[in-house]
A and B are shown apart, each in its own frame.
Chain A
């Protein structure tokens, strides 16, 4: 162990899963977990640099009014940090450059994608090449889904996990790549970390509702080249205890929820890293 590991959970402007995300971080063993309102970052009081794990939780940033997380991406790109010669985006870039971990869930994933941080091909973290758009059903849906985990992906969060059962709660989760080439590259580089699947099969599916939104190639989450930035639509923080499971009253389940493994992997990775 090389010192304390700390986690920041950013909130504000419509984010609403910060409490359970912070709870998951604590259960995973982070030494310090702070829920930080974005105004604290913008006024320069808190800096991302002081943390190792950046959590971007679910919610409705700015109401998703201009398309999910669009206005928030605009803010991170263009809002200045008071008292410093930098935009918030510069802190994000430094965070990535330092090899630290970022997890974006649902609205947080949408934010990473709209900023261009995911998939971030060739170290370009500013060009948007994929998107998350309206579900084919045209509606917001809350339902639990099975996810097939790609064991070959470099994602540090999903190490040693084969499959996941988690809830999706979104209206704009349909993954679309800009073109065939982008999609092909995502496959080739094993950036596709989780795909919607049927319970039994470990095969990705386009069938509704197992694939709840019509995502291309059933993509539910992707990671960066290093595997240190990971975004997914389903909510791992929503399954931290067996009583979160929709059928806990009828199935034998381990006490610990499946979603927690992602946060534990993050902690484990950071404990073995040096910053």
Chain B
């Protein structure tokens, strides 16, 4: 029988978690409650005597100083609360705490591994509202249900139970509930006849959640009809019918998510009267094309080691070390379960650099989130969680994933726009470092020899994450599968990575890759290309619970798993080390050169596909793109009378305001190499432009990490958006001491469906936006000489239920990785001392289209910022030189909110005033003071320079648009002289800072 152990805080001990929940109930749900206490519940599924239960309760499960326990009865005294809500996981959902409890109790009672009693966790919330002193029942059951469904439990993965405090009897308590997965032990292989009519093919794809088009289904049908294929299949016991495993495997491998069909499509692009342009693969033409061109130009100075071929890009750090970087998104799962989705996102992207080349040690995370405003107050469409809940859940998921993995989150940003309501964007990036050579061979190259063993390590396989790849290749709809949602386990992953780094350094494996989208079908299917085939047995794969069919084992996306190729001569040493370090490792089969992707379950073949067909059987899509420039109404508001107030309003806007409350909850210093932190300045709270870290503590060589993203410009022209996003990432990196010669970038496209269809009548326009973004990417990366080394695209960020469709604004994130010779030359954005001279670098033009200033007045406008490559590149090179020579005291980039925001931030971060004149700002066409203050022209900086370096600095900048506009003052005022010589702004920096800090200070 099952037992329950309830653990709660002793009376008088502050319940910080309960208080946090209480605040959320009051502030988000507007239900007035006075007190929330929490109780942790452990359900032990097995026969245990009283003494054992008591030892477990008093031992690992409770803290004797502050907690008490109740065994097989309720802990809360009768009459002590209004309502009790207990929330636990549904069957099969990852329960990390339960797993740890199981191990701990097993160790305590002398039962190891599977012998230990399974443990499941849940949590009680004891909620009381005492509005009038005589009764506890001012909360209704409906209130309790609302609290449960809208805050405490996500019904996709959790169940809850509500108990009325009036009927609560602690002696009876709550009956134990065990969320068993009830599965049968007789795995089935389904056979699907594809020799059917087209309509039937379409039905098979839709019903099976395969996301395969009719054309793709027909290709599979034709493949199976091929007599040669058929006779080979018969030899392994298959027929002309497809197995479910084969169909699922093809669906994963050919999914938009894995295959990037849109980026590889043949696109006919039309723009006005120009002749139509045929683009054979955006990816090859623009992204790869750009990098190839840059590398050719670099010649012997080429510092790129591995681009586009592996899970992440690899560049040279120095003779002995290589750097690895990847950014991914985890949008669709985060929409359904923000916490689990985002947690899985970060620990998932961790496995990319970890699974690149021979494997990299992870040294930083960088995250960018795009949400709808947290104060959204309109009715929510079905299946959509409130943006605030998404914000909190995603933040917390990434917190747990990053912090618990011991990887510093060094940089990131938050972008707000109502159109992220349907799908939030959760960009998670991770960098790593690896020795340039391991076992005498370059570490960034992958090799597998026929005969090498296929080994899976880490977590076990369950039903979680099934159809993740196909699910994220579609819009979020009514039938979006629950199994796609999963919860990551950073500690299992950490144990695995600790083990694998040791194994790597001992040269115990030959190749490593991660299990992400598509699970084993992808990881084994992809790596098998290196040897030319594989043969694996799914029956050997360790499962979380019985009842998985072979196809489920093959495509499950259960987390924390890596797939390795191990030389048979080293397998014993490899497995012994795994056992010693308490990490599960299983040989699933062999890599071959048979040309076949051969999967068995025991003796029975469940999939037998030609490698060529699996990977190259899909012809490119043919798509149409038509660019018609949009035209938005020109704004017609007057310059505000009080620009100081306007500046404060701007600073408190969601896209400009301080993100300190989020940043502080991420460990940005673990590993000991933090140099420029996300929060800088006199009070450690100014907005750092980019991160600088020292990955090797005995060296002063450093890495710069920055991001650029500006989706609002895409409302006018995605070309400008892409150019500005790249420029932003670069100027952030330059601002702290980077140099164009040593910066590489990642491109991350998140688009709404750009394929013209009934669902997407404006697909041709959206695809044209995508084409234009790619054209800009090519133009500007080649001109700056900054290569893309890896990237990702997520093309179906739409929500469609009933007749409600919400599409995200096309969003392109550039993430930059720079190398710095000596981190001691790094510069931060805060003004350093009175008397320093204030400069503006770069020309300000009347480019307010898509700006925050226009947005604040309800306009988009049309004059979107353009990146002028000649000006920008010359400026960046000059500024890098000046910083390198130590001439610059502070440097801050101008982005959202323009010069006004940059000046204010420079001042209040430094705790000094500034006295500047708008008349001296290098500008063109800015007739209004607000134009000059809030235009978002690209490639600009606010810089302060000590007077003794004035000459040298001005000489260094002589070929650039650069002007001295004033001075840093002791007096803590931002004083901005307007065009007429009158003070346009005169604001205490404390007030500006307060406005900037207020918005997201919860």
Q: What residues of chain A have their CB less than 8 Å away from a CB belonging to chain B?
A: 11-17, 19-20, 23, 37, 39, 43, 58-60, 62-67, 70-71, 73-75, 78-79, 114, 128-131, 133-144, 167, 169, 174, 176-178, 214, 235, 237-238, 240, 243-244, 246-247, 249-250
Q: In the complex, which residues of chain A have a beta carbon less than 8 angstroms from the beta carbon of B62?
A: 67
Question: Interface 1/0s, chain B 429-454, versus A by CB < 8 A?
Answer: 00000000000000000000000000
B824 to A243, Cβ gap below 8 A? Answer: yes
Complex CA gap A165/B150 in Å reads 42
Complex CA gap A179/B242 in Å reads 70
Q: Which of A58, A144, A177, A244 is close to B684, meaning CB atoms less than 8 Å apart? A: A144
Q: Which of B14, B61, B403, B581 is close to A140, meaning CB atoms less than 8 Å apart? A: B403
Task: List the A residue with the shortest CB-CB distance to B110.
Answer: A78
B65 to A140, Cβ gap below 8 A? Answer: no
- A-B contacts, 13 listed (Cβ < 8 Å): A14-B406, A20-B671, A20-B673, A65-B100, A66-B101, A71-B60, A71-B101, A128-B63, A128-B65, A136-B16, A140-B403, A238-B670, A249-B827
B63 to A58, Cβ gap below 8 A? Answer: no
A250 to B910, Cβ gap below 8 A? Answer: yes
Q: In the complex, which residues of chain B have a beta carbon less than 8 angstroms from the beta carbon of A128?
A: 63-65
Question: Interface 1/0s, chain B 54-69, versus A by CB < 8 A?
Answer: 0000011111111000
B60 to A66, Cβ gap below 8 A? Answer: yes
Contact status of A39 and B580, CB under 8 A, knowing A23-B697, A59-B406, A131-B65 = yes
Chain B positions 822-858 with a Cβ under 8 Å from a chain A Cβ: 823-824, 826-828, 830, 832-833
- New A-B pairs, 8, CB < 8 Å, besides A70-B61, A250-B681: A16-B671, A17-B670, A60-B491, A65-B100, A243-B823, A244-B672, A244-B675, A250-B682
A142 to B19, Cβ gap below 8 A? Answer: no
Complex CA gap A217/B851 in Å reads 50
Distance (Å) between the CB of B663 and the closest chain A CB? 8
Q: In the complex, which residues of chain A have a beta carbon less than 8 angstroms from the beta carbon of B670?
A: 16-17, 58, 169, 238
B828 to A250, Cβ gap below 8 A? Answer: yes
Complex CA gap A37/B502 in Å reads 10
Task: List the A residue with the shortest CB-CB distance to B400.
Answer: A63
A169 to B669, Cβ gap below 8 A? Answer: yes
Q: In the complex, which residues of chain B have a beta carbon less than 8 angstroms from the beta carbon of A240?
A: 672, 697
A137 to B16, Cβ gap below 8 A? Answer: yes
Task: List the B residue with the shortest CB-CB distance to A11.
Answer: B498
A63 to B404, Cβ gap below 8 A? Answer: yes
Q: Which of B108, B498, B667 is close to A74, meaning CB atoms less than 8 Å apart? A: B108
Task: List the A residue with the shortest CB-CB distance to B489.
Answer: A63
Question: Interface 1/0s, chain B 652-687, versus A by CB < 8 A?
Answer: 000000000001111111111111110111101000
Contact status of A12 and B672, CB under 8 A, knowing A63-B96, A131-B63, A136-B16 = no
Q: In the complex, which residues of chain B have a beta carbon less than 8 angstroms from the beta carbon of A178?
A: 64-65
Q: In the complex, which residues of chain B have a beta carbon less than 8 angstroms from the beta carbon of A67?
A: 62-63
Q: In the complex, which residues of chain A have a beta carbon less than 8 angstroms from the beta carbon of B65?
A: 128-131, 176-178
A138 to B19, Cβ gap below 8 A? Answer: yes
A20 to B672, Cβ gap below 8 A? Answer: yes
A143 to B100, Cβ gap below 8 A? Answer: no
Question: Interface 1/0s, chain B 1-45, versus A by CB < 8 A?
Answer: 000000000000110110110000000000000000000000000
B665 to A140, Cβ gap below 8 A? Answer: yes
Contact status of A141 and B664, CB under 8 A, knowing A78-B108, A133-B66 = yes
Question: Interface 1/0s, chain B 704-743, versus A by CB < 8 A?
Answer: 0000000000000000000000000000000000000000
Q: In the complex, which residues of chain A have a beta carbon less than 8 angstroms from the beta carbon of B677?
A: 246
Q: Which of B14, B403, B680, B694 is close to A136, meaning CB atoms less than 8 Å apart? A: B14
> Chain A binding site: helix, strand, loop or mixed by DSSP?
mixed
* Residue B90 lies at the interface, judged by CB distance under 8 Å to chain A: no
Q: In the complex, which residues of chain B have a beta carbon less than 8 angstroms from the beta carbon of A78?
A: 107-108
Distance (Å) between the CB of B562 and the closest chain A CB? 18
A17 to B665, Cβ gap below 8 A? Answer: no
B680 to A249, Cβ gap below 8 A? Answer: yes
A62 to B406, Cβ gap below 8 A? Answer: no
Task: List the B residue with the shortest CB-CB distance to A141.
Answer: B664
Complex CA gap A139/B680 in Å reads 21
Q: In the complex, which residues of chain A have a beta carbon less than 8 angstroms from the beta carbon of B406?
A: 14-17, 59-60
Q: In the complex, which residues of chain A have a beta carbon less than 8 angstroms from the beta carbon of B491?
A: 13-14, 60, 62-63, 65
B684 to A19, Cβ gap below 8 A? Answer: no
Contact status of A243 and B60, CB under 8 A, knowing A43-B580, A58-B670 = no
* Residue B753 lies at the interface, judged by CB distance under 8 Å to chain A: no
Q: In the complex, which residues of chain A have a beta carbon less than 8 angstroms from the beta carbon of B14?
A: 136, 214
B97 to A249, Cβ gap below 8 A? Answer: no
Complex CA gap A7/B303 in Å reads 38
Complex CA gap A177/B826 in Å reads 44
Q: Which of A13, A15, A65, A134 is close to B97, meaning CB atoms less than 8 Å apart? A: A65
* Residue B399 lies at the interface, judged by CB distance under 8 Å to chain A: yes
Q: In the complex, which residues of chain B have a beta carbon less than 8 angstroms from the beta carbon of A12?
A: 495, 498, 581
* Residue B375 lies at the interface, judged by CB distance under 8 Å to chain A: no
* Residue B104 lies at the interface, judged by CB distance under 8 Å to chain A: yes
* Residue B311 lies at the interface, judged by CB distance under 8 Å to chain A: no
Q: In the complex, which residues of chain A have a beta carbon less than 8 angstroms from the beta carbon of B404?
A: 14, 60, 63-64
Q: In the complex, which residues of chain B have a beta carbon less than 8 angstroms from the beta carbon of A74?
A: 59-60, 104, 107-108
Task: List the B residue with the shortest CB-CB distance to A113.
Answer: B65
Contact status of A134 and B17, CB under 8 A, knowing A17-B672, A63-B100 = yes
Contact status of A138 and B684, CB under 8 A, knowing A14-B404, A62-B100, A133-B63 = no
Contact status of A71 and B495, CB under 8 A, knowing A176-B65, A246-B679 = no
A140 to B13, Cβ gap below 8 A? Answer: no
Complex CA gap A97/B872 in Å reads 66
Contact status of A140 and B399, CB under 8 A, knowing A66-B97, A128-B63 = yes
Distance (Å) between the CB of B746 and the closest chain A CB? 25
B17 to A19, Cβ gap below 8 A? Answer: no
Task: List the A residue with the shortest CB-CB distance to B679.
Answer: A246
Distance (Å) between the CB of A59 and the closest chain B CB? 6
Complex CA gap A64/B495 in Å reads 14
Q: In the complex, which residues of chain B have a beta carbon less than 8 angstroms from the beta carbon of A23?
A: 672, 697-698
Q: In the complex, which residues of chain B have a beta carbon less than 8 angstroms from the beta carbon of A235?
A: 669
Task: List the A residue with the shortest CB-CB distance to B583.
Answer: A39
* Residue B490 lies at the interface, judged by CB distance under 8 Å to chain A: yes
Q: In the complex, which residues of chain A have a beta carbon less than 8 angstroms from the beta carbon of B96?
A: 63, 65
B64, B490, B663, B669, most chain A CB atoms within 10 A: B669
Q: Which of A20, A63, A144, A214 is close to B490, meaning CB atoms less than 8 Å apart? A: A63
Q: Which of B494, B502, B672 is close to A19, meaning CB atoms less than 8 Å apart? A: B672
Q: In the complex, which residues of chain A have a beta carbon less than 8 angstroms from the beta carbon of B634?
A: none
Distance (Å) between the CB of A46 and the closest chain B CB? 12
B60 to A131, Cβ gap below 8 A? Answer: no
* Residue B103 lies at the interface, judged by CB distance under 8 Å to chain A: yes
Distance (Å) between the CB of B30 and the closest chain A CB? 20
* Residue B202 lies at the interface, judged by CB distance under 8 Å to chain A: no
* Residue B405 lies at the interface, judged by CB distance under 8 Å to chain A: yes
Distance (Å) between the CB of A80 and the closest chain B CB? 10
Complex CA gap A13/B96 in Å reads 13
Distance (Å) between the CB of A19 and the closest chain B CB? 6
Chain B positions 455-505 with a Cβ under 8 Å from a chain A Cβ: 489-491, 494-495, 498, 502
Distance (Å) between the CB of A118 and the closest chain B CB? 12
Complex CA gap A250/B581 in Å reads 45
Q: In the complex, which residues of chain B have a beta carbon less than 8 angstroms from the beta carbon of A139?
A: 20, 664-665
B495 to A244, Cβ gap below 8 A? Answer: no
Q: In the complex, which residues of chain B have a beta carbon less than 8 angstroms from the beta carbon of A64?
A: 404
Distance (Å) between the CB of A180 and the closest chain B CB? 12
Distance (Å) between the CB of B78 and the closest chain A CB? 27
Task: List the A residue with the shortest CB-CB distance to B105.
Answer: A74
Task: List the A residue with the shortest CB-CB distance to B64.
Answer: A128
Contact status of A250 and B832, CB under 8 A, knowing A19-B697, A60-B404 = yes
Q: In the complex, which residues of chain A have a beta carbon less than 8 angstroms from the beta carbon of B669?
A: 142, 167, 169, 235, 238, 244
